[in-house]
Amino acid sequence: MPGVRDSRESILHYSQLIYQKGWVANHEGNLTCRLGTERFLSTPTAFSKADIAERDLIEIDRDRTVLRGFRRPFSEFQLHRAIYDTRPDVNAVIHAHPLNATAFSVLGRGLDRAIIAESVVSIGPGIPCVPFAMPGSAEERDIVSRFATRYDVLILGNHGVIAFGDDLEQAFLRLEYCEHLAQIERMAMSMGSVRYLGWRDVEVLLDRRKAAGLGPEARGMSREEAYGLARKYYEL
């Protein structure tokens, strides 16, 4: 886990980056990282990610109480907390609205089957689109908690994307890869029928994923427990 100074520099860097990439507009998006078991560094509510300065960052506890700083916390923090509570290995969470992946979200469609081999090793056999629930609601937290045990990126129905990892860089790269895959699949769909990888090939790539220390198998889950749900999309 990085120190407070590194965390502050990192959260400002990735706030600017998601804005520059066009993944947020107006006051959209939020970023957090752990500073300890009960303390989190966070972007504030009602700020463009282009304009956030170090003085605007806040430190909050699990109940959104501001411990340091003078800005207000964003209302969706409990969504981040659901991930931190479910995944003790996660130290950073980014939520944004990248255009292509969010277009899939409003279709209620995930990136459920792999289109390129590298993605299986990096983020698994697919990225689900979880059902819509009111932002900040207990229902949303429950849904995300269930899926976060098996995935590192989630498309949120009619909402956007949330990605998480060991640090903000890893969370950002997973968010970036989700948008990259959504763009490729969207382009391929406009050109003809998409040829997805078969499950037999995916299984070989999942062995490599586990060997790289990535994914739920590396955290001790069985393959069936980790990827049984994802495999069903390959059997349709």
In the predicted structure, residue 226 carries a pLDDT above the cut 90: yes
Alpha-carbon distance 210 to 132, whole Å? 31
CA distance to 196, 213, 228, 230, per residue, from 199 (Å): 9, 21, 11, 10
2 or 228, which is more confident: 228
Strand partners, 92: 33, 165
pLDDT at 166: 97
What are the tens digits of pLDDT across the range 108-152? Answer: 999 999 999 999 999 999 999 999 999 989 999 999 999 999 999
pLDDT band at 6 (very low <50, low <70, confident <90, very high): confident
Residue 116 three-state SS: coil
| CATH numbers and ranges of domains, the chain | 4-234 (3.40.225.10)
DSSP per residue, 49-103: TTT--GGG-EEE-TT--EEE-SSPBPTTHHHHHHHHHH-TT--EEEEE--HHHHH
| Interior angle at CA 49, CA 134 and CA 159, nearest 5 | 20
Segment 34-83, tens digit of pLDDT: 998 899 999 999 999 999 999 999 999 999 999 999 999 999 999 999 99
The pLDDT of 210-229, averaged and rounded, is: 96
- By percentage, how much of the chain surpasses pLDDT 90? 94
pLDDT of residue 235: 83
